[in-house]
Amino acid sequence: MKTKSLLRCAWSLNDPLMVEYHDREWGVPVHDDLKLFEFLVLESA
């Protein structure tokens, strides 16, 4: 069985926490309105 290797951005390669963030959250679409509103508020602060 051939495993698919993940392509990761260079900024995430030096820290295990950033690798986990990259793999679990970065680029994952969000469809929950409350979560989107939370992102909007946090980014504007």
1-18: average pLDDT: 82
Q: How confident is residue 3, by pLDDT bands cut at 50, 70 and 90?
A: low
1-11: average pLDDT: 75
Those residues with Cβ within 8 angstroms of residue 12's Cβ, 6 or more apart along the chain or in another chain: 18, 19, 21, 22, 26
Residue by residue, DSSP assigns 1-45 as -PPPPPP--GGGTT-HHHHHHHHHTTT-----HHHHHHHHHHHH-
- pLDDT digits 0-9 by tens, 22-44: 988 888 899 999 999 998 999 99
What global pTM score does this model have? Answer: 0.56
> Does residue 26 contact residue 9 with C-beta atoms inside 8 Å?
yes
Q: How confident is residue 18, by pLDDT bands cut at 50, 70 and 90?
A: very high
